[in-house]
Amino acid sequence: MPRRSKALSGTLIAGALLCATLGAGGIAATAGAAAPGTTAPASHTAAHSGHPGGSSHAMAASMKFTAASPDDPDGDGYIPANPPVTGVTPSTQDPPHRYFHEFQANCGVTHTAPDDPIVFPQQPGKSHDHTFMGNTTTDAYSSTASLAAGGTTCKAPGDLSGYWMPTLLNDGKPVLPVGPQTIYYKAGVTDYTSVRPFPKGLRFVVGSPMQSAAEFRDHPGFVEGWECGDSYFNTEFPASCPSRADVQLNIRFQAPSCWDGTYLDTPDHKSHMAYPVVKPGTNDNVCPADHPVALPMIEFKMAFPVNGDMSRVTLASGSGHSFHYDFFNAWDDATLKALVDHCLVGGLQCDARGYDQTHPEAGAALDENYRLP
């Protein structure tokens, strides 16, 4: 695949500036603890709600990707894989049916901050506020090397990846998920035996704060939308949720899982990834020809401790349909490979240890400390 012209990055960056205005100040928080409240500026929320076409969209279209970083020293937005994965064709094999082929990464909240090391590398405070999970050091200056040297709130110490999403606000005050959240790693293609681990340093954005309500609802990653109590498939936050201790606001959203094999990132933070497509004449999901490498499909399953009157609930990026999230892979290579091979390729429904309770005979990928044995 030929390297795209740098001139193209100025055109693509309109889609890349997903957090295009200055956000609220950072909110330090320990995992599972309530953080001091801040209110996102009205101009920030307005700029990110609704369909692209407002002033922030025009601003994004006029800006260029100029911030260099340790992973992208020339600042053109293209981070080549080293080495690239070549000679792969999308697998059309149909292995024995297994209903599950997944494992969980259970990671707690670390902090919130108006940073985004993917969209705005080296530019602290440039983004709307994000809630970070996993790696404890993630900030605007994060790189593959810095994450590898950091700590983690994930159960598996080998998962040093950064996961983040727009901060949920209730009457302007942050509402942080409590305890380890569920981040599934699944097979997104029918041939689950063809899935391979993420390359170190791969990063991407799922969804967009500038998407319309219809684009959010029709997004290929949309699973159940916003839900609470008996209310499901909501594009926006429900007007109210049952005021019970066992009721939380939930969302599930899936990421693309087919990689071009060439770039760890591109200027729009999406073009190097694609969702599987249905093979003509079948019900099989396969990777498209231009993104032939099958990787794990990440699915966020987030739970926010808020219920009752939801009229004052927003995201730092805008209304409910502006939900999106980011992923920056910094797994220990051997740990990730062990979980992918045992659980996804092996067709198991695993927990964060890589253990399937319904198939105890298969054992676990990790020991009781969630480390390689």
Query: Taking 50 as the threshold, does the pLDDT of residue 254 lie above it?
Result: yes
Query: Taking 50 as the threshold, does the pLDDT of residue 309 lie above it?
Result: yes
> What are the Cα distances from residue 35, in Å, to 64, 101, 330?
34, 36, 26
Task: Specify the range with the lowest mean pLDDT, choosing from 23-32, 257-266, 359-368.
Answer: 23-32
pLDDT of residue 35: 34
Query: pLDDT of 137-158, one tens digit each?
Result: 999 999 999 999 999 999 999 9
Question: Average pLDDT, stretch 220-246?
Answer: 95
Q: What one-character DSSP code corresponds to residue 101?
A: -
Strand ordering across the sheet containing 313-315? 173-175, 168-170, 313-315
**Are 154 and 181 within 8 A, CB to CB?**
no
pLDDT of residue 27: 37
The pTM for the full model equals: 0.85
* Helices then strands, each counted (H, E), the chain: 6, 23
The residue type at 65: F
Alpha helical stretches, state H, the chain: 7-16, 42-48, 55-62, 144-148, 213-217, 333-339
How do the domains of the chain map onto residue ranges?
7-362
Query: pLDDT of 80-94, one tens digit each?
Result: 999 999 999 999 999
Query: Taking 50 as the threshold, does the pLDDT of residue 215 lie above it?
Result: yes
What percent of the chain has a predicted confidence (pLDDT) above 70?
A: 82
> What are the Cα distances from residue 68, in Å, to 194, 228, 229, 371?
35, 42, 46, 35
Query: Taking 60 as the threshold, does the pLDDT of residue 3 lie above it?
Result: no
Give the pLDDT band (50/70/90) at residue 30.
very low
Query: Taking 60 as the threshold, does the pLDDT of residue 108 lie above it?
Result: yes
Query: Taking 90 as the threshold, does the pLDDT of residue 1 lie above it?
Result: no
Give the pLDDT band (50/70/90) at residue 67.
confident
Give the pLDDT band (50/70/90) at residue 113.
very high
Average pLDDT, the chain: 86
